[in-house]
Copies of this chain bind each other. A is one copy, B any other.
C-alpha cells in the first residue's frame, strides 16, 4: 500500500530540494484534455536538474509515496491523472527544458525531457536538420512524455514512432538511481535494451529526464496532394504504388472519410474544401523528395499511374507551399470538427494493412446493430492506424448516448482483436485501457510485464495504476 504525499512528507522532501521546487498542484496539473477524470489532490514537484529528480524519486521510494511523471499533460488515456488512491507527487519536467547539445554532422541532439515537441523541432530546424516526430499537440506536449508514451503522429510511415527516433535516454529508475544512457552511438550491443523498455512504459518503470534524438536531412522538396480514392483497398494499392515509385519516400498517407468532411461542413462551414462533392474516401499524401526530383512531376506521374490502375477518381496536387498548407489544414481540422460534433466514443486502433478494408466492411453493420450512429474514420492509413470514432445521429447529442459507449467499444475492440489488430495503436494504455490490455493482451506478455514491474519497482510507486491495473 502507498502513503499520501501529505504535509509531513512535503516538509521532509523540501529539505532536500532548492526552494520553490515544491508547491500544491494547481488544477491544470490535475486534469486531462477530455475532462473525464481528475486527480483530487497532489503535491507538485518541478525540479531543474536530474539530481533533484533522483532525490525526489528516492524519497518517494523510501516513504512509499506514489509519483506521476508529468510532461505536457496532453495524453488521451488518463496516464497523467489518478482519480483514486493516496495523493501522489506530480513530477513535472517543465523546468528541465535545456538543449544539451546538437551535432548536425552526427545527425543527433541531446534534449531534456521538458522541452516541448515544437521546441525540439525548432532546434533541429535551426541547425538545418529535421526531427520528424509531429502531432497535433506538439506545442504543448513535451518530449519526455512523447517518449514515455512512444508517440506516433503523421510521419511514422517514413521515420518511425518516438521509439525509432531515440538513440538513448537518461532516466531516474524507481529506486532513485540514474540510468546514464545518453549515447551518441548508432550501434551499441552491450547488454539489454533498457531504452526501449522505458519508452512506451508510460512512466511506470522510471522517469525519462533526457534523451538523444535522431535527426535527418531535410527533404529537398515536398510533394503534397489530396486524392479521392475508389475505396480503402484502392488506397492501399495507391500506397504500394507510391512507395515503389518513390523508393519508399512517402512521409504521410492519411485516410479521410466523407463523414469527416461533412462534419466540417456542419461545424466549420468557413473552411474551404477542395472537392465540391465530398468523396467517400480520400487520402492526404506527402512525399519527401531527394534533390534532383521535381515534386510536381513525381506527384503527377503517380496520379496518372493511379488513374490508369483505377485507384483514384479525382485529385488536387499542391502547386505551392500555401496550397500544401491548405490541404494539411483540412486534415488537421478533422479532430476539431469531431470535437465540435462530440463523439460518443473514440477508438485508436491499428490493423494489419490488408485487413483494413475487411474491418471497415464488418464494423459498419456491427455499429448499426447497436444504434443509428454516424462513424467518422480517419487516420494514419500507412501505419494501419485508424481513429474510428462514433457519433450521435444528426441533431443528437453524445451525452444522450453514453450508455451505449461501452457496448460499441467492446464490439469494435473485439473485431479489431479478431483481425489481429491492436486496441491502442498510438495513445497507450494509461488508466483508461488497463482492462483492455488484460482482456486482449497475450498472457505470457502480461506475466512478463508484471515480473519486470515488480523487479524494478517493488513498492509500486511509479505512476501507480497506469498500464498494469493493481
Contacts and interface: CB of A to CB of B under 8 A. Distances in A.
Contact of A180 (B236, B385, B423, B444): B444
Interface stretch (A313-321, A348-356, A396-404): A348-356
B181 A442 contact: yes
Contact of A192 (B104, B217, B297, B452): B452
A384 to B, nearest CB: 5
A178 B444 contact: yes
A363 interface: no
Given A152-B187, A187-B425, A106 B354 contact: yes
Contact of A187 (B216, B247, B383): B383
A207 to B, nearest CB: 13
Ranked 10 nearest A-B pairs via Cβ: A247-B290, A455-B455, A196-B196, A184-B352, A188-B422, A177-B444, A451-B455, A187-B425, A186-B383, A106-B353
A455 B197 CA distance: 15
A190 B446 CA distance: 10
A164 B183 CA distance: 17
Contacts of A247: 217, 219-220, 249, 288-291
Contact of A248 (B187, B217, B298, B444): B217
A165 to B, nearest CB: 11
Nearest to A221: B247
Contacts of A184: 352-353, 420
Interface stretch (A18-26, A29-37, A133-141, A426-434): A426-434
Contact of A194 (B244, B440, B448, B455): B448
A191 B422 contact: no
B350 A441 contact: no
Nearest to A298: B292
A289 B249 CA distance: 11
Interface in A278-307: 288-293, 297-298
A237 B187 CA distance: 20
Contacts of A183: 420, 422
A161 B185 CA distance: 13
A446 B191 contact: yes
Contacts of A323: none
Interface in A137-186: 149-150, 152, 156-157, 160-161, 163-164, 173, 177-181, 183-186
Interface string A36-77: 000000000000000000000000000000000000000000
B246 A189 contact: no
A426 to B, nearest CB: 5
Contacts of A105: 236-237, 240, 353-354
A394 interface: no
Max chain B Cβ within 10 angstroms of own Cβ: one of A179, A188, A243: A188
Contacts of A260: none
A55 to B, nearest CB: 15
B452 A456 contact: yes
A103 interface: yes
B189 A150 contact: yes
A454 interface: yes
Max chain B Cβ within 10 angstroms of own Cβ: one of A156, A448, A455: A448
State the copy count for this chain: 2
A12 interface: no
Given A179-B445, A180-B444, A184-B353, 6 more contacts: A150-B193, A185-B351, A187-B380, A192-B205, A193-B200, A194-B445
Contacts of A289: 247
A414 B243 CA distance: 45
Contacts of A246: 290-291
A199 interface: yes
A35 B240 CA distance: 47
Max chain B Cβ within 10 angstroms of own Cβ: one of A354, A384, A445: A445
Contacts of A173: 444, 448
A449 interface: yes
A405 interface: no
A352 B186 CA distance: 8
A341 to B, nearest CB: 25
Contacts of A179: 442, 444-445, 448
Nearest to A245: B291
Nearest to A152: B187
